Amino acid sequence: MTSSITTMAEMAAKGEKPEILFWVGCAGSFDERAQRVSKAFAQILNDCEISFAILGSEEACTGDPAKRAGDEMTFQMQAMMNIQVLDAYEVKKIVTACPHCFNTLKNEYPDLGGNYEVIHHSTLLQQLINEGRIKLKDGGAFKGKKITFHDSCYLGRANGIYEAPRSVLEALDADLFEMKRAKKNGLCCGAGGAQMFKEAEHGTHEINHERMEDVMEIQPDVVAVACPFCMTMLRDGVKQKEQESKIEVLDLAEIVVRQNG
Amino acid sequence: MSILAFILVSAAAIYFFAKRIVSVRRNIFLGREETINDRSSERWAQMTRVALGQSKMVVRPVAGFFHILIYVGFVLINAEVLEIFIDGFTNQHRIFAPFLGAFYDVLISFFELLALGVIIACIVFLARRWGGLKRFKGLEMQGFPTRDAAIILIVEIILMKALFIMDAADMKLSNGEHFFLVSSWFSFWTEWFTPAQLETISHTAWWFHLVGIFAFLNYVPYSKHFHIFMAFPNTWYGSLDPAGKLNNMESVKSEVKMMMDPNANPYAATDAPLARLGAKDVQDLSWKSLMDAYTCTECGRCTSVCPANQTGKKLSPRKIMMDTRDRLEEVGKNIDQHGLEFQDGKSLLGDYISIEEIRACTTCNACVEACPVLINPVNIIVDLRRYLTLEESNIPAEWGMMNTNIQNNGAPWKFPATDRGNWAQNNG
C-alpha cells in the first residue's frame, strides 16, 4: 500500500509542485480521532494517484476560532503568515477535510490577499466517485447499514454544500436516512463560533445532547460527519447516551476507505 | 368643506409620516460606514425573490400562506384606496364606477374577497399568537411587543370591516345598480336603516377607513410592522456572500500589516484618534445592522431555530435585534433633545445585551437562514465580541488560552508546532 505523504518543502527541494495542497487543519493534525480521518483521506488521494502534499510544520491555524471569538488581531496575523507560506509555494488549489478551515480559506483569506481555489473533501470525494476514480465495491462494509448524515454548519448553511456529502453516501450500498433537522434546518453540534474551546453558557442542556435526540429517532448504525469538531461533539453525545456499541460516528473519508477495505 | 377637511387630514398624516422616515433614516446612518452597492442586478433579483416574492416566508407553509393573503390583500386593496383618495380630492363618491361600468363591480368584489382573506388571516394570526405558539412567547415579547402585534392585527380587521360596511350601504342605496359580492353576504343590516341614514353610515365608514389608514401609516414606523416598507431595502442591501463569511476589519489590517513589515516605521502612525474596534453601542455597528433592526418584525423564526436558545441559554437572536432597535431609538431621542454630542452613559452592550448572551452563539447561521427578510444577528454578535476582546480584553480564560496557543503554537491546543506533521510520519 502506498502511503507516503510528502510535505511541500520536500517537494520543493526536488523542484516539484503538487497538483493540490491538502490543508490538514489543527484537529486533523493533533486530535487523535481526527488524525485517522487525515490518514484515510491521504490514502484515498494516494490510491487515486493524485499528486498532493501537506505543509506539515509550516501549516498553522487559519485563525477561524480566534476571529469568531472576536480576536481579529490574532486571526489576521495567522492569516497573513499562512498566506505568505502558501504564496511562497505558489499554491493554487487547496483541499481540506475541515469545514472551518474551508470557510476561512475560501471566504475570508481573499480580503487579506490570499486567493486560492479551495474545496472541501466532500466535494472532491464526490468528483472522484463521479469520474470513476474511486470505485466503491458492491456490497462492502456498509451493505444494508442505516446511515444518517449530520450537516456541519460551515459546510451547509455557511457555504451551501448539502449534496456533495450525501452523494458520497448514496454511492454506498447503505440506506441513507435524514434526521428531522437536516440540510438548511440542520442543528449545530455546538462546537462552532469557538465554542469548542470553552464551556457552554448556563442552560438546560448541551447542544450536542439536543442533537443526539435527532440521531436517536433514526437509530442509525452510522452517523456520517464531514467535520472534525462535529465528530468530537457527536462522539461525546453517543457516549452520553451510552450508545457506543450501537452507533458509530465516521467521517466520509473513513467510510469510503472502509467500504473498499 | 369636505375637501378642505380631507386635504388637511391628508397633509398632516403625510407630514408626520415623512418626518418620522427622515428621523429613521438619520438613525440608520448613525451606524458605521459600509459601502454596499456592488452587483446591483443580483440585488434587484434578491429583493424581487425574497421581499416581493416572499420566497422565505413559505418555508413555513401555514404562516407563509396566511401572510401572503394579508400581503396580496394589502398591496392590491391599495387600488381601492387610490379611488378613496381621488374621491376625497374631488368630493365625489366611487369616481371610477362610471368609467369602468359593470367591471367596477367585479373589481370591487375582487377586492372584497381579498379583504375577507385579510380578515381570516388576521384572525388565524391572533389565534396562533394567543393560542400558545411557543415562538411568540419569550422574555423579549413581554409588554409592548405583544400589544403591538395585537394592535396591528385588530386594526387591520377593523379597517377591512369599514370597507364592507361602506360597500353594503352603497349597494343598498344604488337600488340594484351595484352588486358587491362579499358585502352582499353580510348586508342584512342595511334593511334596518333609511336611505338618509345609510348615506351617513357610508360617509362615516369612508372617513373612518381614510383616517384609519392614515393613523396606521403613522403607527407603522414606530412598530414591528415597519417591515412592510423596510423588507424591500433590507433585502436589496442583504449580503450576497456565503453566510459563513465574516467581514474583514480593515482597521486591524493596517495595524497587522505594519507589525509584519520589517521596514515599517512605528512612529509614522497618524495622530488621528483610533476608531473603536468592534461595537459597544449602536453607532459602532454597520448601518446595515441598524437597518436590520428597523426591519425586524419579531416573528421569532430565528430564536426558534437557535441551538443556544433551544438548549436554555440566554441568547435569543430576536432579542438581539429588538435591543438594537430600542437602543437606537433611545440614542435618536437623545440627539433630538440634547444634540449630537450627548452621552447618556448607557450602551447597547451591558445595558441592553449581556455578555452571557453573545458568548453563547455558535455562529451556526440558523437564525440568518431562518429570517424571511435577510436580517443577520450574527454580525451584531460578532461585532460586540470584537469590542470585548480587542478593547477590553474581556474574554473567558479558555478563549484567552486558545488565542495564546494559536499565536505561539499555531493551534488552539498546546501542542508544539514542530509536531504538526507527525501524524503523516507514522502512517501505516
Q: Is the pLDDT of residue A1 over 60?
A: no
Q: Is the pLDDT of residue B266 over 80?
A: no
pLDDT of residue A180: 97
Mean pLDDT on A193-198: 96
Mean pLDDT on B402-414: 96
- Regarding whether A142 and A114 lie in a shared domain, the answer is no
Partner-chain contact B421 A74, CB within 8 Å:
no
pLDDT of residue A3: 60
Chain B nearest C-alpha distance from A17 (Å): 18
Query: Which of these three, A102, A126, A150, is where a domain ends?
Result: A126
Task: Report yes or no on A202 lying in a domain.
Answer: yes
Distance of CA B174 to the CA centre of its chain: 43
Please indicate if any CB of chain B lies within 8 Å of the CB of A66. yes
Q: List chain A residues with CB under 8 Å of B424.
A: 5, 7, 38-39, 42, 54, 56
Half-sphere exposure of B100 (CA within 13 A, CB side): 13
- Regarding whether A156 and A104 lie in a shared domain, the answer is no
Please indicate if any CB of chain B lies within 8 Å of the CB of A183. no
Q: What is the pLDDT of residues B191-206, one digit of tens each?
A: 999 999 999 999 999 9
Q: What is the CATH number of the domain that holds A221?
A: 3.40.50
- Regarding whether A176 and A72 lie in a shared domain, the answer is no
Of A70, A81, A158, the CB nearest to B385: A70
Q: List chain A residues with CB under 8 Å of B256.
A: 73, 76-77, 80
Mean pLDDT on A195-211: 97
Partner-chain contact B313 A201, CB within 8 Å:
yes
- Regarding whether A175 and A109 lie in a shared domain, the answer is no
Partner-chain contact B420 A28, CB within 8 Å:
no
Say if CB A104 and CB A226 are below 8 A apart. no
Give the model's confidence band at B275: pLDDT under 50 very low, under 70 low, under 90 confident, else very high: confident
Partner-chain contact A210 B307, CB within 8 Å:
yes
- pTM comes to 0.95
Q: What is the pLDDT of residues B106-140, one digit of tens each?
A: 999 999 999 999 999 999 999 999 887 889 988 89
Alpha-carbon span B211 to B216, nearest angstrom: 8
- Regarding whether A40 and A84 lie in a shared domain, the answer is yes
pLDDT of residue B1: 56
Task: Report yes or no on A1 lying in a domain.
Answer: no
Q: What's the domain count of chain A?
A: 2
Chain A nearest C-alpha distance from B146 (Å): 25
pLDDT of residue B70: 95
Q: Is the pLDDT of residue A119 over 90?
A: yes
Chain A nearest C-alpha distance from B217 (Å): 36
- Regarding whether A146 and A115 lie in a shared domain, the answer is no
Domain that holds residue A103: 8-126
- Regarding whether A225 and A121 lie in a shared domain, the answer is no
In degrees rounded to 5, what are phi and psi of residue B121?
Answer: -60, -40
Task: Report yes or no on A174 lying in a domain.
Answer: yes
- Regarding whether A107 and A147 lie in a shared domain, the answer is no
Mean pLDDT on B394-422: 96
In degrees rounded to 5, what are phi and psi of residue A21?
Answer: -95, 130
- Regarding whether A255 and A142 lie in a shared domain, the answer is yes
Give the model's confidence band at A2: pLDDT under 50 very low, under 70 low, under 90 confident, else very high: very low
Query: Which of these three, A126, A146, A178, is where a domain ends?
Result: A126
Of B244, B369, B382, the CB nearest to A107: B244
Q: Does the interface predicted TM-score (ipTM) exceed 0.90?
A: yes
pLDDT of residue B198: 95
In degrees rounded to 5, what are phi and psi of residue A95?
Answer: -120, 140
- Regarding whether A254 and A144 lie in a shared domain, the answer is yes
Mean pLDDT on B312-316: 98
Task: Report yes or no on A189 lying in a domain.
Answer: yes
Partner-chain contact A193 B388, CB within 8 Å:
no
Partner-chain contact B407 A5, CB within 8 Å:
no
- Regarding whether A249 and A147 lie in a shared domain, the answer is yes
Mean pLDDT on A106-126: 98
- Regarding whether A60 and A19 lie in a shared domain, the answer is yes
Q: Is the pLDDT of residue A253 over 70?
A: yes
Q: Where in chain B are the domains?
A: 2-228, 250-256+276-409
Task: Report yes or no on A70 lying in a domain.
Answer: yes
Mean pLDDT on A224-233: 98
Mean pLDDT on B80-104: 88
Q: Per-residue DSSP letters for chain A?
A: ------BHHHHHHTT---SEEEE-HHHHHH-HHHHHHHHHHHHHHHHTT--EEB-GGG----SHHHHHTT-HHHHHHHHHHHHHHHHHTT--EEEES-HHHHHIIIIISGGGT---EEEEHHHHHHHHHHTTSS-PPSS-TTTT-EEEEPPPTTTTTTT---HHHHHHHHTSSSEEE--SS-GGGPPP-S-TTTGGGSPPPS-SS-HHHHHHHHHHHH--SEEEES-HHHHHHHHHHHHHTT-TTT-EEEEHHHHHHHHH-
Of the CATH numbers 1.10.3470, 1.20.120, 1.10.1060, 1.10.10, which one belongs to the domain with range B250-256+276-409? Answer: 1.10.1060
